[in-house]
Structure 1
Amino acid sequence: MVIGSFPVGKLFMFGLKRVSKPVGDLLMWMGKHHPFIRHYVIMPPAQLYNVFEVRSKMRMLRLKQPRRIPRLTPPIATRLGADMLSEAIVVAIGLGLIYYEVSKSYKNDQKKQQQVEEERRALDERVDRISDNIERQEHDINCIKAAVKN
């Protein structure tokens, strides 16, 4: 894993794993004490994961697909669902941090590009003024040469 070579990356990943444990415990507690949350928030992702896992394993083993997959028991489904939701929260936090950093660097790049454009515009204006001065001076020189010849 590439992130293993960076100590800051290791610390960040360790911190994310440490944060997911209390979140999972909180979800477990809520699943035990609040039936609505258990039945409508925590258990459905676990049951869906179980269905996908069993079907994919059967497909990889090239076995016949079962018509009906047995449901997980409520304690197992609650634990699996709480773990999945805590990991999803950690991933969402990580993606949010990545989005924040990318948008911040994009804004900085935009500011730098705008400064370069302003500098280029200022240089173009200076070149235009210098070329106008040169044309005026050439006209004056031509007028002086014509006056000297006469």
Structure 2
Amino acid sequence: MVIGSFPVGKVLMFSLKRISKPVGDVLMWMGKHNPFIRQYVIMPPAQLYNTFEVRSKMRMLRLKQPKRIPPLSPAIATSLGANMLSEAIVFGIGIGLIYYELSKTYKKNQKKILEIENQEKVLDELLDRISVDVERQQQDINWISAVLKG
């Protein structure tokens, strides 16, 4: 794995895993003490994950798909759901931080591009003025040459 060669990457991955543990513990506590949260927030993702996992394993083993997959016990579903949701929260925070950094960089680049365009515009205007001056001076030189010859 590439991240293993970078110590900073290892520290970052370890810290993300450590952050998700307290979040999972809070979700587990809420699941044990609040039946509404357990029933409608924590257990459904775990049951859905169980269904997908069983079906995918059966498919990989090339076995017949079961018509009905037995649900997980409430304790196992609560534990699995709390862990999944804590990982999802940490993942969401990570994605949010990445999005924030990318948008900040994008705005910074847009600002640089706008400054460069403004500098080009100023330089083009300056070049136009110099061109007009050169043409006027050439006309003056031609007029002076004509006066001196004639």
Structure 2 residue 114 is the aligned partner of structure 1 residue 75: no
- Quote the Cα distance in structure 2 between the aligned partners of 1:41 and 1:80: 12
Task: Name the structure 1 match of 2:10.
Answer: 10
Q: Helix, strand or coil: the match of 2:129?
A: helix
AA paired with 1:68? Answer: R
> What is the alpha-carbon distance in structure 2 between the residues aligned to residue 115 and residue 69 of structure 1?
61
Matched with 1:139 is: 139
| Equivalent position of 1:55 in the other structure | 55
Q: TM-score, normalised by structure 2?
A: 0.97
Residue number in structure 2 paired with 1:28: 28
Q: Which residue identity does 2:61 align to in structure 1? A: L
Structure 2 regions of 5+ residues with no counterpart? none
Look up the SS of the partner of 2:14 in the other structure: helix
The match for 1:110 is 110
- How far off its partner does 1:14 sit? 1.5
Match of 1:126 in 2: 126
What SS does structure 2 have at the residue aligned with 1:71?
coil
What is the deviation of 1:20? 0.1
Identity %: 72
CA drift of 1:149 comes to 1.2
RMSD of Structure 2 on Structure 1 (CA)? 0.9
Q: Secondary structure at the match of 2:27?
A: helix
Matching residue of 2:64: 64
Distance 2:93 2:5 in 1: 22
TM-score, normalised on structure 1? 0.97
Query: Alpha-carbon deviation of 1:47?
Result: 0.4
Q: Which moved more, 1:92-101 or 1:10-19?
A: 10-19
Deviation of the 1:6 alpha carbon: 2.8
**Counterpart of 2:69 in 1: which secondary structure?**
coil
Cα deviation, residue 131, structure 1: 0.6
For residues 91-148 of structure 1, the C-alpha deviation after alignment (integer angstroms, 9 at most, x for no partner) is 0000000000100110010011011101111111111111111000000001101111
| DSSP 3-state at the match of 1:66 | coil
Shift in Å, 1:77: 0.3
